[in-house]
Structure 1
Amino acid sequence: MPSDAGADQDMLIFPDFQAEKAGVYKCDGSNDDVVSVSIDMYPTYPKIHDNVVLKCIVENDEAASITWEKMDDHLPATASIMGNTLVLYGITPEDEGIYRCSAMSKSGEVKNDIEVHVAHEIRRTVLRHA
């Protein structure tokens, strides 16, 4: 780069451009602001008929737009999305599966998955001999 050239944010500035300064200039950039997505689930081990809360937590990008989906299926009819939170009301075994939180922003798209399992009741029958 010519000694009198300078940079101002995303622009290369030549105060006195002359033909001998013509050429190919390459701009390399980097960004240390990494956007990450994590999912918190409560309760951690849900039982049948529990309400399950999945919260999508986006770090380093508060302006991200959040979407939820259930992989290989539709979100349950009893699901409700409020901001970055997905609530599964009265969970059943049919609600088990992988849920995905996607965060879209000017930085790009970041996704994270969580697998939801439902603890099934074990019924035991006791037979008494007379």
Structure 2
Amino acid sequence: MMNREREEIIRIHVVTAKALHLNNEHGDSVVMIPFTGHATGTYFAGEVLDGGVDTQIIERGGRHSLSARYMLRGTDRAGQECELYIENNGEIDPALTDVLFRTSPRILTNSRALAFLNDSALIGEGFPAESGVEIRIYREG
């Protein structure tokens, strides 16, 4: 498999809040983690708006999925105010050693300068951070 270059689009510096937990008698569980934070990068800088949540489902068989949805408000690379919506879905694979998880993010934006993100195939990676987690989103070149 050929290794293609990746371009970092954005970093989201997530600050997690108190999680909600549900466990059932079958051994499945759900964790909902509300969060705030901010984003940095050459394309966009801004704040995570209220309402961001990461929902993780841990099944009794060991499958551990995650799905985060959140909006950001800030400034695009052209200096215009805009919003980004990010839906970040993936699975936590215990075999990963270089990152906490990998995801397939989808971004929708009202920014003309960042309109290419509406249709881009993206890769997300999570890294540990003092305040919670750092999400890096890349576009393959």
Instruction: Pick the TM interval, shorter chain.
Output: under 0.3
Larger-gyration structure (1/2): 1
Normalization by structure 2: what TM-score?
0.25
More strand by share: 2
* TM-score using structure 1 length: 0.26
